[in-house]
Amino acid sequence: MNHYLSPLHIPCHDRLIMALDVPNADDARTLVENLGDSVTFYKVGLELFMAGDYFGLVGWLKQRGKKVFADLKFFDVPETVARAVRALQGHGVDFATVHGNDAIMQAAAAAKGDLKILAVTVLTSLDQGDLQDLGFECEVSALVLSRARRALAAGCDGVISSGLEVPALRREVDHSLLVVSPGIRPVENRHDDDQKRVVTIEQAFGNGADYIVVGRPIRDAVDPRQAAEEAQARIARLFGQARS
Question: What's 93's domain CATH number?
Answer: 3.20.20.70
Query: Is 18 within the bounds of a domain?
Result: yes
- Cα separation of 59 and 77, whole Å? 28
Domain housing 63? 12-243
- Cα separation of 243 and 40, whole Å? 22
pLDDT band at 136 (very low <50, low <70, confident <90, very high): low
pLDDT band at 193 (very low <50, low <70, confident <90, very high): very low
- Are the C-beta atoms of residues 114 and 157 closer than 8 Å to each other? no
Query: Is 151 within the bounds of a domain?
Result: yes
For the entire predicted model, the pTM comes to 0.88
Chain segment 138-151, per-residue pLDDT in tens: 566 677 788 888 89
Question: Which stretch, 86-95, 142-151, 167-176, 234-243, has highest mean pLDDT?
Answer: 86-95
Max Cα distance, the chain (Å)? 48
The bridge status of strand 16-19 relative to strand 41-45 is: parallel
**What pLDDT is recorded for position 200?**
92
Query: Is 7 within the bounds of a domain?
Result: no
**What pLDDT is recorded for position 194?**
45
Rg of the chain over CA atoms, in angstroms? 17
Torsion of the alpha carbons at 166, 49, 152 and 139, rounded to the nearest 10: 50
**What pLDDT is recorded for position 113?**
95
Query: Is 198 within the bounds of a domain?
Result: yes
Domains contained in the chain, number: 1
Query: Is 6 within the bounds of a domain?
Result: no
The bridge status of strand 158-160 relative to strand 178-181 is: parallel
Query: Is residue 157 predicted with pLDDT exceeding 80?
Result: yes
Query: Is 1 within the bounds of a domain?
Result: no
Query: Is 4 within the bounds of a domain?
Result: no
Catalytic center residues: 73
Query: Is 53 within the bounds of a domain?
Result: yes
Query: Is residue 94 predicted with pLDDT exceeding 90?
Result: yes
